[in-house]
Amino acid sequence: MNLSVDEDEGTTVLHMTGSVTGPDGEAVENAIVHVWHANSKGWYSHFDPTATQTPFNNRRRIKLGKDGRYAFHSKQPSGYSVPPGGSTDQLMQALGRHGNRPAHVHFFIEAPGYRTLTTQINFGDDPFAADDFAFGTREGLLPVPSRQGDSAYIQFDFQMQRAADADDEHFSSRARAEAEPQPKTETA
Ligand SMILES: [Fe+2]
């Protein structure tokens, strides 16, 4: 599946593949992988001040089959920072820290009988891979892409926990910013 609808000239193509398994190594059936990332300028669709991205660029829901395997390609994202010179940047500098995030990809994974997983991976070869100001990472979430020409390949496997109860399967009920209606879920 292709996540990147917009042309993003001159950027590397990201290929991600892997599996979703449960605590005993079983394939998680009928999972839905929600994936989203920034473009090569570090902007997300819906939150792009340049207004150059189409809705849902670099965002998809992928329905997996019985084998729990996923695959997608897109244009490699760039990292981003807090707005330079802004109040958060000033605060970070006063603390002797920076406000940079490495290139990364976000995921929600939901599946019947399993606890919904919220996670992300940082590109392991990004200079800020292990120095993410948002503390949004740990060892094990820093895959190093295999780079060949204009392509970057990441193989990454997710492991889910079984849901303790029905609430565990559900998304957080935290209020979120409004977005346009979502397109139909596509099948991998
Ligand atoms: Fe992000």
User: Hey, what CATH topology would domain 13-169 get?
Assistant: Protocatechuate 3,4-Dioxygenase, subunit A (2.60.130)
Encode pLDDT of 134-166 as tens digits: 887 889 999 999 999 999 999 999 999 999 888
Dist. CA 147 → ligand 1 center (Å): 22
- Residue 95 phi, psi (nearest 5): -90, 0
Spacing, Cα 129 to ligand 1 middle (Å):
13
Residue carrying the six token digits 């979502």 = 182
> How is residue 169 annotated by DSSP?
H
Residue 73 has a pLDDT of 96
pLDDT, tens only, 24-39: 999 999 999 999 999 9
Q: Report d(CA 14, CA 25) in Å as an integer.
A: 26
Digit-coded pLDDT (tens) for 98-113: 999 999 999 999 999 9
Token pair of 163 as six digits: 């849901």
What digits encode the pLDDT tens for the residues 36-48?
Answer: 999 999 999 988 8
**Amino acid letter, 149:** G
Torsion-angle region of residue 125: left (phi > 0), alpha (psi -120 to 50) or beta? Answer: alpha
